[in-house]
Amino acid sequence: MTTSARLRSNAPHTLAWALRAALFIALCGGHSVLLNFLQFLFLPLWLIDKQLFRRWCHQTEHYFALTLVLVTQLLAPTDVVFTHDDSMASLVQVPGGGANQASVLPSHRVELDLSPRAIVIANHQVYMDWIYLWFVAYYARCSGYIKIILKDSLRDIPIFGWGMQFFRFIFLKRNWAQDKQSFLTQISETAQVHSPFWLTLFPEGTTITTTTLAKSHAYAQTAGVPLTRHVLLPRATGLYHVCQGLRQSADYVYDITMGLEGLTGDRFPQDVYTIPRMYLEGFYPRQVHMHVRRYPIADVPTDLEKFQQWILQRWQEKDWLMAYFYRHGEFPHGGSVAQLCQQPPMDRVQPPKLLTSTPQQVAVHLRSWTEMIPLWTLPLTPWLVGKAWSCLFG
């Protein structure tokens, strides 16, 4: 499963770029406008039955996830390579079997063995990361239940920001004194509902760049903790309160480490892969590697100081995983990451018997094109009802 670097200039000609841009705007922009319209259209339902309105918002979020999968499938086709450590017995499942040895598993049959009520954390390299995590939720059949924690300035962006408010994303001003009350209230509301949820956040707070890494190093020297090279030191406060508030509701914390094909650690991912380059220019990673670790929520420390040590250790291990990925083009699979980190990342993890799982590669494709039919036909419903009424009673 080792991949070779495929960074190359493959920018399309002007006409091809225009066609890609038109398709991107039509699908991503058009669908977003349509979904936002449908959210506002059904807003009066909130006054009648709040739970029913919430279910409708979950459905619109699922359709937005389908849009992201479709746009990526057409304009930046990518395979996700899954690995995991021994905290999980399995990750990728193919109901009916018979395809587990395939080089790329059939997307229409793949399911991820992940809990529908979980906290999901990951390293943050590029702005596409949250879309990649939505792909994971899609395969886990939780794409309508993602709750992302993100900066408050995104709240008021027309269409997209309004849609995220309907999705009940959590917006933070990055000032704990201002954020604390509303943040804890929304976490409490999430804990009380009985529907699935994937509360997703990037503890680093931002993508890794020259500036952010320098700030991370300065803090590490002040705090007397080891420097990291491929990740930023995590911010513990928000995640701590998430884990505390959802302790009785979530089953697991899933820690995902993401690596993008074609990089070797000498350049920051965001300098190479941007959303415009990927979707408009066709310059994208052909594989996105995801290494998944699972922690029962009951095992996450409840004491703040111990929790800070716990999350710091996870990120130091994550830095080792990224160093290994940049060296070998893949993540180690199976075994205990804590044990593997005792070895230099340039060394292959030697005991084959320690590697109890194999990488599993899944193409980012819709399970079926028919999944989009309800979204495409829903706007025609009033017209069809009107025509039927006219035919019957006109």
Q: Can you say whether residue 175 is alpha, beta or left, with left for phi > 0 and alpha for psi between -120 and 50 degrees?
A: beta
Q: Are 283 and 11 in contact (CB under 8 A)?
A: yes
Contacts of 159 (CB under 8 A, 6+ apart): 29, 32, 33, 36
Q: What does each C-alpha distance from 226 to 27, 71, 221, 336 come to in angstroms?
A: 45, 40, 8, 21
Please tell me the distance from the alpha carbon of residue 154 to that of residue 270, in angstroms, as a whole number.
19
Please tell me the distance from the alpha carbon of residue 188 to that of residue 247, in angstroms, as a whole number.
11
Q: Please tell me the predicted confidence (pLDDT) of residue 1.
A: 42
Q: Please tell me the predicted confidence (pLDDT) of residue 123.
A: 96
Q: Are 90 and 240 in contact (CB under 8 A)?
A: no
Please tell me the distance from the alpha carbon of residue 167 to that of residue 258, in angstroms, as a whole number.
25
**What secondary structure does DSSP assign to 79-121, as a single string?**
EEEEEE-TT-S-SEE-TT-S-TT-SSB-TTT-EE---SEEEEE
Q: Please tell me the predicted confidence (pLDDT) of residue 335.
A: 80
Q: Please tell me the predicted confidence (pLDDT) of residue 215.
A: 94
Q: What does each C-alpha distance from 305 to 49, 308, 353 come to in angstroms?
A: 42, 5, 36
Low-confidence residues in the chain, pLDDT < 70:
1-12, 96-103, 347-357, 379-394
β-bridge pairing 287-296 and 252-260: antiparallel
Please tell me the distance from the alpha carbon of residue 348 to that of residue 330, in angstroms, as a whole number.
11
Structure-block tokens of residue 37? 């319209």
Contacts of 37 (CB under 8 A, 6+ apart): none
User: Hey, which residues does 199 pair with through a beta bridge?
Assistant: 119, 147
Q: Please tell me the predicted confidence (pLDDT) of residue 60.
A: 92
Please tell me the distance from the alpha carbon of residue 338 to that of residue 129, in angstroms, as a whole number.
25
Count of Cβ atoms closer than 10 Å to residue 96 Cβ:
7
Count of Cβ atoms closer than 10 Å to residue 301 Cβ:
14
Structure-block tokens of residue 121? 């954390």
Q: Please tell me the predicted confidence (pLDDT) of residue 349.
A: 58
Q: What is the pLDDT of residues 35-86, one digit of tens each?
A: 998 899 889 989 898 889 999 999 999 999 999 999 999 999 999 999 999 8
